[in-house]
Structure 1
Amino acid sequence: MPADLDALVVLETLREAPERDRAEVDRPKLDWAAADWPGVENPAELQAQIADWLTQYANAGTRKTYGYALGLPAAWVDDLAGGIGRESTAGGPPGGRPGVLHHLAWFRWCASRGMDPRAATGNEVKAWLHQLDAAGAEKRTRQRMLSTLSAFYAHLTEAGVVPANPAALNRARLGLGSTARDASPTIRLTAGQLRALLDAAADLPNRTRYRDLYARRAVAVVGLLTLGLRVSELVGLDRDSLVLSGGEPMLRVLGKGGVHREVYLTNLAATALTEYLAERDRTSEAATPALRGRTSANRSPMIATRVGGRCSRFDINTLLRRVAVQAGPALAEVADKIHPHALRHAYVTIALEQDARIQHVQADVGHATIATTQYYDRGRRTRDTTAADLVAAAIEAVPGHPATSAAQPTAPAPTPAS
């Protein structure tokens, strides 16, 4: 990291608290007014403008991802909106583990030049993008970072803070345009490879007395990801996200843009989840206690650490890599490329291979739009309008693995939908 960034106290003051019992940890608050931000006369004013933008996003994982991309301390972003999201989701980049491009996050890049971000022009944004390219940032990384920056400046423009959006650039000329011909970097997993992941998760080695708990949690994670969930959606689930609707067990998922959708549980996922929660409750010798300020134990995380805390996206990524390595030959060539989005990608591709209607797949995974299709009417959804069972059947039909019963899934005691 360049030496001149050492003066950027405002972006370094706040650190993530160590992973301890969240009920006993109060995150420190950042006094921006007393902080030093090179090139910015009134850091508190800029902080308020940033907070005003980020708190428009209902999903705490989105706020944290955007904040990290701009170079903000993850713990400060996590504390926005009075701590909303601190217990409801642990999405976003892990604290204390900055990536190799973190020093080139926009706010840090501006600070290293003593420039107020609100004074930036298109020339500065282009220079920043070229430096990211020179540092080895992939095209999709630069596209994502530019999109985040453009969203931030669009808000400042609307609020009258800046006269125009300096990040509203011609992406095609910058080589950042998206076309249908662009190949996805996400690996394509087959139904057989998903089955291998499930088997490997069940046999995950662990020499502690919590072996069964960890193995069943791993199976539950893989099983839930075969439903096409985003990793932020998975870690944001609470136990009371499991509901009954129309007589069917399903998950009420908070997706991008604060939009809720219903995800039907397959027999595969329901069994994995039931066994994990039963083992978790047995291990704790009681139902998981309610978090501080909550009156219901069901508001505890669906997927939890051994002591009942919420798993982060980093935790899920690490777990999947361990499972993939354990899977042996079936995933030997791609084990280092396994991540949650690969399973979401597999859901879509396998569903379409099984001739699922694209509108059903769109509704399952929560895509906002699909060309030539309209928004799917959630109120008309039934079990026949989800591709989930087709994907589960394809996994279970892999040779050497007997298919499970065709009976309706038995889900862990859901809360009836209102």
Structure 2
Amino acid sequence: MNLPVRATSATPTGDDAELVQAYLNHVTVEKRLAERTVVLYTLDLQRLTAHATEVRVGLREVQNAHIRRWIAQMHSAGRSARGIALILSGWRGFYVWLGRQGLMGHNPVQDVRAPKAGKPLPKALGVDEAVQLATHVEEADHPALEARDACITELLYGCGLRIGELVGLDVAASGHARGWIDAQGGEAHVLGKGSKRRSVPVGQAALAALARWVEQRKVWAGTDAALFIGSRGQRLTPQHIRVRLKRRSRLAGLATPLHPHMLRHSFASHVLQSSGDLRAVQELLGHASISTTQVYTRLDFQHLAKVYDAAHPRAHAKGKPSKG
């Protein structure tokens, strides 16, 4: 986008268009901003001028209330919080410059902030994707490798364990064990954040995968008490598990790049969708505060909204429903 630039530092005294052009000259010639930045400033000021024209005020007559109203309109129209913040930054710079030129006695953008960006939802697999991953069987070079990776997948998704809790599991309970699985009782005992212990149920699928792995583990077993070991008998690291899970998800045909915490999010989301019991999900995840767990209610609503849009006959009805 080519911008007409006049190399002048004279104070403008004319209409809005002259004010805007003088400011663009300033940021281009004197501040030497990049061309792309100047283009964005130009678009911001075009937007500001359009809003001011709609309410029939000049740019120097814009008040704080005007700015707040326009920000609310952009937010309602779906513009992101980050996008609004960038626009505000452009407007703020313009009015700061007008003030330095002695053309404004106040800055209407003063103390106006963009809406807070919504907290991003944790990424979670759909139920079908999670089952697809859990039931995937890989043609591994060694049966122990497949048994181990399948067991890791089942425990992360079936119990909602953190990766640190998973790698801390030992084969059996002991005075030094950070965690272990009581196969007979169907419970995993883990050491979570803040050195807090908790117990979580282990489902039949995970117990079956565990039994297969424990049998195969004997091939690699060394002196390490770790439940999950590599071919040299040493405890697996979180990084090793991340690499193996990413590979397994790709071979299982998942489109979403997988990381261990995504399986924990999937566990929480799917349990909440089925039970609606937020307090139980908090206990299963080992969250100290239920406010941390409440993010999964947003995942649950997102799921419900998708189901509604896909299935309800009135979801896409045009206009308002008639009164009977």
TM-score by length of 2: 0.50
Higher normalized helix content (fraction of residues): 2
Higher relative contact order (CA 8 A, sep 6+): 1
TM-score by length of 1: 0.39
